[in-house]
Amino acid sequence: MSEYPYTFRDPIHGFIEFNQLEWDIINSPAFQRLRRIRQLAWTDMVYPGAMHTRFEHSLGVCHVATRLYDSIVGNDKDILEAEYQIFDSGIRRQRQIIRLAALLHDLGHGPFSHAAEEVFPFKNSEDRYVHEEYSGSIAANLLSDLIENHPFNTNNFSIKVSDINDIFVPNSKNKSSILWKEIISGQMDADRMDYLLRDSYHCGVSYGRYDLNRVINTICLNEDSEIGGHVVGVDEAGTHAVEGLLIARYMMFTQVYFHKTRVIFDYHLEEALKAILQEQGGVFPKPTPDEIEAYFDWDDWSVLAKLKDGTGGDHGRRLIERDHYRLLHDTPEVPSADDLFKYDEIVEKLDPNRIVKRDAKKSWYKFSKEEIRVRRKSAGERTSLPLATLSPIVNGLSTVNQRRIYVPQEYRVEANSLITS
């Protein structure tokens, strides 16, 4: 019998295989809920094809994460053995942990994915909960029995839910999970590698395409001499493939994720959700054992029903009628100090209750110039360098720091006259 007898046909990766444990998780209510969470919220208001869900993305991340892991093991088994004392049985167990982490990492997304996080409750005086904490809570409270007592697990791996959560819940506690979490959430992670291709495909754009096979083929563990220890990077042979990946990120951010019209629909959703959740204090339930089941009931379908019956208020109406706020002013993608001070001056002139500000730096999927280490071999010795020092293209990419001001259509004329006065 095959270890992976179950197969999905995926539009991005072709056939994706799963074992019995994974199949049973996929068929659980917790995972099936992801069919009712759209990947890109209201992006279909701009790109009508963007109706895909977290369900297919999670399957894709599992597939890509496995390929990344297998490639690292193939390329750098000596490092894993010498530095991390991970040998064959440990490699096999870690592979299963990564596959499960990839499957489960998005379980906690709220309705319409990231936009809902602005309506998550605060966990302390400064910070709201994040969706990974909900994912961890759903795994711990709703899936632990299935995972920890599944024969496929007990007979082969004895994996605990905490082993899986360590990979994607913030501030994991053990050494190997800190290394491997980069595969799920890092600069060269399976999450980005899947969503760029998938979002590009569903939006009907080409911006997110890059050579996935070459990136996977050349991924490796690179020593960072400044601090000591390893980070997930790439062999020099993959330099141009990674350039493609970074350019894809930049293009998808500017053309899709931070598209001027797409972005304002996140705001309308946030405000509509606050209205829908008014009786609960304007926020979703917490990811605590006593509240996680109440949270679990929320998905796109329940929100859409509320929007249809008018509970979403004025912003709910705007979503239904596509009557969105309009862009009044924006800075360049990489503004100078003077651009930013001019932006502040414009904000000062406007009625603060009638404007919405959006900041690329605070956006989901923000594009920041990040350091990827490239391995070079010289005289049999491995060294690593930042990609930007080897690639003029990457060196030329800058963190996008664009800021925008939106206003309701009915305030636009008055606002324009105020900022030109």
Partner 1 sequence: MKNALHKFALLTYIADSMSGKHALGKKALQKLVHLCGEIGNVNTGYKFKLYTYGPFSRELAGDVDILDSMSALSVRFDAVRNGYEITVGEKADDLIGKASGYLNENKEKIDYVISIFGDRLAKQLELSSMLIFILKNDLVDDPTNDAEVIDKFLEIKPHYEYSDVVAGLSEVRSLI
- Residue 175 in contact with partner 1, rule: CB under 8 A: yes
Select the residue interacting with partner 1 from 10, 24, 224, 330 (CB under 8 A). Answer: 224
Asked if 124 and 77 count as a contact pair (C-beta separation under 8 A), the reply is no
162 binds partner 1 (CB under 8 A): no
Question: Residues, the chain, total?
Answer: 421
Cα torsion angle, 368, 183, 7, 111, sign: negative
Tell me the closest approach of the beta carbon of residue 68 to partner 1, in angstroms: 15
Of 225 and 409, which CB lies nearer to partner 1 in the complex structure? 225
The token pair at 272 is 């509509």
**Sheet of 356-359: strands edge to edge?**
326-330, 403-407, 356-359
- Looking at the chain, the number of H-run helices and the number of E-run strands are 20, 9
| Single-letter code of the amino acid located at 333 | E
Q: Is 243 in the site for partner 1 (CB under 8 A)?
A: no
Taking the least distance from each CB to partner 1, the nearer of 322 and 361 is: 361
What CA–CA distances, in Å, run from 21 to 7, 17, 25?
Answer: 13, 12, 6
Rounded to a whole number of angstroms, the minimum distance from the CB of residue 17 to partner 1 is: 30
- Considering only the stretches 98-106, 152-160, 192-200, 338-346, report the one whose residues sit in contact with partner 1 under the rule CB under 8 A: 338-346
Select the residue interacting with partner 1 from 42, 69, 129, 343 (CB under 8 A): 343
**Concatenated DSSP letters for 119-148?**
GSPBSSSS-B--HHHHHHHHHHHHSHHHHH
Q: State which of residues 230, 286, 324, 404 lies at the interface with partner 1 (CB under 8 A).
A: 230
Which of 10, 24, 148, 370 touches partner 1 by CB under 8 A?
370
Residue among 182, 194, 299, 300 that touches partner 1 (CB under 8 A): 182
Distances (CA, A) of 169 to 107, 177, 302, 369: 12, 10, 26, 24
Least Å from the CB of residue 321 to partner 1: 33
The footprint of partner 1 (CB under 8 A) covers 83, 127, 170-175, 178-179, 182, 186, 224-231, 334-337, 340-341, 343-344, 361, 366, 368-371, 383, 385-386, 388-389, 398-399, 401, 403
